[in-house]
């Protein structure tokens, strides 16, 4: 009787062990399923994050392009302003040189208007001094006029006034004004043979050409 109970107990234990094995197998498989679920979740999160990363990268590229365009525009404006500054500087330097040149010319020829007005007076003195007086009193007056004439000529020389050479010189339209022609022996062709009115230079500027007769 005791043996039968032991046999039944052993069979019951075997049945219990068999029923317990599937549960243990299920318990062992559970972590695998959980790991698979976690991998799927991470993959899904990565898939969701990837479009966001792409969008962020696109925005950064757009911002970079905008910055590069702005930089290029700024460089072009800077180049334009530099060129404009150089042009203005060159114009200003030219303006200063012109003003300096005008000032020097004004100083150099400052007496031109006055000298031009004095030349007819000088001509009258020369005509008067050609007269040969006979009376002593007239001679005395002529001597006084000659002194005034010489003083006037010296004053003009100090200002840079010079007579233009005429008689015996080749005719030069820049310095001579031909009013007559002649056929005189002893003179070559195109040579000034007579001077009717003196010409004058103020330094290197002609203020009046000489009025002359030219041999043909």
Coil, helix or strand at residue 194 = strand
Asked whether 125 and 148 are in contact (CB, 8 A), the reply is yes
pLDDT of residue 20: 45
pTM above 0.85, yes or no: no
d(CA 215, CA 186): 10
Adjacency order of strands within the sheet including 161-163: 161-163, 200-202, 205-208
Question: By the 8 A CB rule, do 193 and 182 touch?
Answer: yes
Q: Strand runs (DSSP E) across the chain, as ranges? A: 161-163, 176-182, 192-197, 200-202, 205-208, 210-215
Give me the pLDDT at residue 34, please: 52
Distance, in Å, from the CA atom of 57 to the CA atom of 45, rounded to the nearest integer, reads: 18
Paired with 215 in beta bridges are 182
The confidence score (pLDDT) of residue 69 equals 86
Which residues contact residue 188 at a Cβ distance below 8 angstroms, ignoring those fewer than 6 apart? Answer: 215
Distance separating alpha carbons of residues 166 and 196, to the nearest angstrom? 10
Pairing of strands 210-215, 176-182: parallel
Give the span between the Cα atoms of 76 and 74, in whole angstroms. 5
pLDDT digits (tens, 9 = 90+) for 76-88: 898 899 899 999 9
The token pair that represents 184 in the structure block:
């005189």
Name the residue with tokens 């792409």: 54
Residue 190 confidence (pLDDT): 92
The C-alpha atoms of residue 186 and residue 102 are separated, in whole angstroms, by 46
Q: What is the pLDDT along the chain (216 residues), one digit of tens a residue?
A: 445 555 556 665 555 555 444 444 444 444 545 555 555 555 555 555 555 566 777 888 888 888 888 888 888 898 899 899 999 999 999 998 998 888 887 788 888 889 999 999 999 999 888 888 788 888 888 888 899 999 999 999 998 999 999 999 999 999 999 999 988 888 889 999 999 999 999 988 999 999 999 998
Closest CA to 112 of 154, 160, 155, 153: 160
């Amino acid at each position: 009787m005791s043996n039968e109970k032991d046999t039944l107990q052993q069979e019951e234990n075997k049945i219990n062990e068999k029923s317990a094995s599937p549960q243990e197998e299920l318990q062992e498989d559970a972590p695998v399923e959980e790991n698979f679920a976690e991998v799927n979740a991470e993959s899904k999160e990565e898939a969701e994050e990837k479009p966001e990363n792409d969008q962020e990268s696109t925005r950064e590229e757009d911002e970079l392009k905008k910055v590069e365009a702005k930089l290029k525009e700024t460089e072009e404006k800077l180049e334009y302003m530099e060129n404009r500054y150089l042009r203005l500087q060159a114009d200003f330097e030219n303006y200063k040189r012109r003003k300096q040149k005008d000032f020097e010319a004004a100083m150099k020829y400052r007496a031109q208007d006055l000298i031009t007005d004095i030349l007819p007076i000088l001509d009258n003195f020369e005509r008067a001094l050609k007269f040969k007086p006979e009376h002593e009193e007239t001679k005395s007056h002529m001597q006084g006029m000659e002194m005034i004439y010489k003083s006037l000529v010296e004053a003009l020389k100090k200002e840079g006034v010079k007579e233009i050479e005429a008689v015996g010189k080749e005719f030069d339209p820049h310095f001579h004004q031909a009013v007559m022609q002649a056929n005189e022996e002893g003179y070559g062709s195109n040579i000034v043979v007579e001077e009717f009115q003196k010409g004058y230079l103020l330094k290197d500027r002609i203020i009046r050409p000489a009025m002359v007769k030219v041999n043909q």
